Amino acid sequence: MRLASEEFGQGPELVFLHGWGANSALWRSWIEAHFVGYRITLIDLPGHGQSPQASWSDEALLDGWVDAIVAALPESAILVGWSLGGLLAQQIAWRYPQRVVSLVLMATSPCFVQREDWLPALEKPLFARYLTEVMQQTQQLLKSFFSLQALGSQQPKQLIKQLLPLMNQVMSGHQLSLRQGLWLLQTLDMRHQLAELTMPTLWLFADADAIVPSSLMAEIARWQPQASCQLIAASGHLPFLAQPSVTAEAIISFLQGKAHD
């Protein structure tokens, strides 16, 4: 499967992986404005944006998504993942550490759904409902999810307006890929692999994120003590839209070796 991707600019290789229900267009203008001096690769996840939908079984789903993304990567790159893209970036860095120079994980988690020993996450019944509604009430689910992402930002209505155009793009027969993404968010647990990620890693959390709670910072310090963590103030799940300059500066400082724990 060949994913839609786009490359532009010159410099160190910097790859961006977006979140569930989105595509590369959502953050392209932010990337263009702040990451001059890098060779940018934007990848649309399977069934998102311009990428084709694939009908992998649940058993083959993770391998299928990861292999498709890796096929679109430069030989060696800095990997920036937001939300679902961040969870997949963790998996790729663990499987192919030689391909990932460093890792930036934005508003994401090693485990998105609560377990008995893991509370800083979304509740299981919520994901069970999402998995049902994504095939039956796709439009309503997307509206609900976009509103959840905008919560905690200083101008949530403005952010929702930026997200709504995505709805028409993902409504056109891509329900299966949306379901696949939700299944990955529900089942994938990378906590025990974090200590094996030895490349420089930055976790960016938002103080008012309704999807990935900022309390996760303390857990990351335990599971991946070698990583750097930073909190973006006055932002929900979309720090690159709510606080574009602050978020970009945090990433660039990290890439230039100036990050602080």
Q: Which residues participate in catalysis according to the annotation?
A: 83, 209, 237
Report the largest interatomic distance among the alpha carbons of the chain, rounded to a whole angstrom.
47
C-alpha 223/C-alpha 156 separation (Å) is: 32
Q: Alpha-carbon Rg of the chain, whole angstroms?
A: 17
The count of other CB atoms within 10 Å of the CB of residue 175 is 17
Residue 91 · residue 105 · CB < 8 Å:
no
Residue 242 · residue 30 · CB < 8 Å:
no
Query: In terms of Cα–Cα distance, which of 149, 164, 162 is closest to 210?
Result: 149
Q: What is the DSSP string of 181-242?
A: HHHHHHH---GGGGGG--S-EEEEEETT-SSS-TTHHHHHHHH-TTSEEEEESS--S-HHHH
Q: Which residues contact 29 (CB under 8 A, 6 or more apart)?
A: none
Q: How far is CA 213 from CA 90, 107, 129, 170, in A?
A: 18, 9, 20, 26
Q: DSSP class of residue 53? A: P
Q: Amino acid identity, residue 93?
A: A
Q: Which residues contact 111 (CB under 8 A, 6 or more apart)?
A: 118, 121, 188, 189, 190, 191
